[in-house]
Chains A and B, each alone.
Chain A
Amino acid sequence: MNPRIVIIGGGTAGTITANRLSRVYGDDAAITVIDRDDRHVYQPGLLFLPFGLVDPNRLVRSRQAQLRAGINFRLGEVQRIDTEAERVMLAGGEEIPYDVLVIATGATLLPGETQGLTGPGWQERVFTFYTLEGATALRDALRGFDGGRLVINTVDMPIKCPVAPLEFSFLADWHFRERGIRDRVQIEYVTSLDGAFTKAVCNRELSGLLAGKDITVTTEFNTGEVDGTGGRLVSWDDREVNFDLLVTIPLHGGGEVIGSVPGLGDEIGFVRADRSTLQSSLSPNVFAIGDAADVPASKAGSVAHFEGETLVSNIQRFLRGEELEGSFDGHTNCFIETGFGRALLIDFNYETEPVPGLFPEPHIGPLRLLRESRLNHLGKLAFEWIYWNLLLPGRPLPGISDQMQLAGKQLNLLSTK
């Protein structure tokens, strides 16, 4: 009998997985993707939406339409996973049996977990751009914002696209300068981390950019409460930051269904998985990919792309009864938009932090790592086409390998360990 492979989640990671599997197996496997809706949002576009740089309708397409012919797309709410009986239970009682289960449920925003965050002021002076609705509402609020204190707050890690709050800060600076009111707006970036970024070389570069753009950074601020009426962020150790407009990046958690299986996920609902093979530590025929996995890599689309090859090859190995291959190295690749039509590019993995260099071809580029350039910005814009036409279909990206390459990188900048 053909193997039954069930994928929960039709977002970036689930779609990549399904399409890659379909290409490998053709008709020799029954591939099912389950999602609760048919709206696939191009999430990198949410960053540009508040500044009126992209139309919200352009960011949404059908999930099903991104899947290759032959893949079975099911609309439904997964209520429970039974790893013993190897079945997924949908709301309404239907059961879907699997030989291999892939969990690609992504990350869920949990604004309600921070006291006061969704209370008075929510969607009036407190917004997030991490949803289509939030980013659209923020766009309208920014249009009417003529001066005051704009605060960008990352409540706690992990979050999707950890550089997005910084990019938002850079773009806000640009936006207000274009409008000629930058001198009337104070921008403050408030983070739970002990720096703008956790990796040393990159932190230096980004801190310099923030200072140059007159953006204040407040670190090690663990938000305990948001007072939307009084315009105050209050930390657990009783520090306060005042705001007129708050852009929050709320707490993230894993899919609710992860909690239905004891031992499957960590305390905040991300699937415990091997960081190199992506196999769940609970059940050998369960795998996790993308934001849903608790591996110590960024929650970013590029990670899901680079994980895709490892995951599909390991599913094949598992079904053939072979040993798995620990080939995922934590490879991450992100453009960081810095405003004024420029961007940085970073490329790193579990072992090697982002450093300057040339990418993807050593000594040639044409993209420069960890340095602002016009070309990096154009790369970021081109990524939208790449996302729908190469990344989601599960095709390789030209010139970019799944494993991070050391060639072309200035590794001498890294302190010896």
Chain B
Amino acid sequence: MTTTTPLGSPIELDPEGFFLRPEQWDETMAEPIARENGIGALTERHWQVINFMRHSYLTTGSAPSIRTLGKASGVPVKELYQLFPKGPAKLAAKIAGIPKPRGCI
């Protein structure tokens, strides 16, 4: 699925709205994606998670799980659920412009 941003550059998303190509993401896209998913303004704590998420994906090739986020992002799991209600790992991945995290099986 391909969609077009207001500025005109095409981005490729999967059917659930996750970026297929992280390089097509930039920081200005985060707020609109967050709003679409029911999150108001992004705070510094949100950004801490978003940046960790992106950095992790770009260095290891996979998105961190909630458990890894809780251990390594500097934001405890309880707070992750307050910042990104329902599913922190998925929601933060979507906002950070990286592919959907897959539970490894």
B67 near A251 (CB under 8 angstroms)? yes
- A266 interface residue per 8 A CB criterion: yes
Partner among A156, A199, A296, A297 whose Cβ is within 8 Å of the Cβ of B67 = A156
A192 at the interface (CB under 8 A from B): yes
B66→A156 contact, CB < 8 A: yes
A298 to B105, CA, bound (A): 5
Tell me how far the C-beta of B71 lies from the nearest C-beta in chain A, rounded to whole angstroms.
Answer: 5
User: Which of B1-9, B21-29, B79-87 forms part of the interface with chain A?
Assistant: B79-87
Which A residues between 246 and 281 are near B, CB-CB below 8 angstroms?
251, 266-268, 272
Q: B67 contacts A224, CB within 8 Å? A: no
- List the B side residues contacting A237 at CB < 8 Å: 81, 85-86
- Residue on B nearest A348 in the bound complex, by CB: B105
Across the interface, B65 reaches (CB within 8 A) one of A157, A199, A236, namely: A157
Give Cα A321 to B77, complex, Å: 45
**Contacts known (A220-B87, A267-B64, A268-B71); A157 close to B104, Cβ less than 8 A:** yes
- B38 an interface residue at 8 Å Cβ cutoff? no
A267 touches B72 (CB 8 A): yes
Residues of B within 8 A of A198 (CB): 102-105
Indicate the size class of the contact surface on chain B: 20 to 34
- Central interface residue in B65, B66, B105, by most chain A CB within 10 Å: B105
Query: CA A135 – CA B62 in complex, angstroms?
Result: 33
Contact residue among B66, B72, B105 (Cβ-Cβ distance under 8 Å from A162): B105
Q: Indicate whether A192 sits within 8 Å of B103 (C-beta atoms), given known contacts A236-B81, A267-B68, A267-B71.
A: yes
Is B66 in contact with A222, judged by CB distance below 8 angstroms? yes
Q: How far is the CB of B61 from chain A (nearest CB, A)?
A: 9
Across the two chains, which residue of chain A brings its CB closest to B56?
A267
Residues in A whose Cβ lies below 8 Å from that of B80: 236
B87 to chain A, nearest CB (A): 6
CB nearest neighbor in A for B68: A267
Query: A199 contacts which chain B residues (CB < 8 A)?
Result: 105
Compute how far the CA of A296 lies from the CA of B5 in the bound complex, rounded to whole angstroms. 33
Q: Say whether A236 contacts B77, CB under 8 Å.
A: yes
With A236-B77, A236-B81, A237-B81 as known contacts, state yes or no: A268 contacts B67, CB within 8 Å.
yes
A residues apposed to B, CB below 8 Å: 156-158, 162, 192-194, 197-199, 220, 222, 224, 236-237, 251, 266-268, 272, 296-298
* Residues of chain B at the chain A interface (Cβ within 8 Å): 60, 62, 64-68, 71-72, 77-78, 80-81, 85-87, 102-105
